[in-house]
Amino acid sequence: MGECAVKDRRTIEMTDLLDLLRGVFEPLNTLDSLAPDTNLHRDIGLDSLGFVRLQVAIEDFYGVRFDPMRDDLAQSFETAGSLLALVRDLKGRPLK
């Protein structure tokens, strides 16, 4: 997995999410920005392996864990904005 340029692990912004995406999906290295309504599959071509790699990168970098019993990962990983909202929510949850 590529190096992530995100420095502050306490907060996450759209630019941080873009940096994480670039680390797991090389074609995004040319993408300058990410809008909240950007569809991660349709608009940027992230496939199922890319989703798993992104999930692991987020969990490792931010020290959070996705809970498939609580979180609708398919819906949360649909757009950049929905993923950002979930990660912000996860940052507020205690780790199990």
pTM for the full model?
0.75
C-alpha separations of 56 from 3, 21, 37, 52, 74 in Å? 14, 11, 22, 6, 15
Q: Quick one: tokens of 93?
A: 């949850």
Tens of pLDDT, residue by residue, the chain (96 residues): 444 444 444 567 888 888 888 887 776 777 788 889 999 889 888 888 888 888 998 899 888 888 888 888 888 889 989 988 888 888 876 655
Where do the structural domains in the chain lie, given as residue ranges? 35-96
For the domain made up of 35-96, the CATH class stated in words is: mainly alpha
Please, are residues 66 and 73 in contact by the beta-carbon 8 Å criterion? yes
Cβ 4 vs Cβ 20: under 8 Å: yes
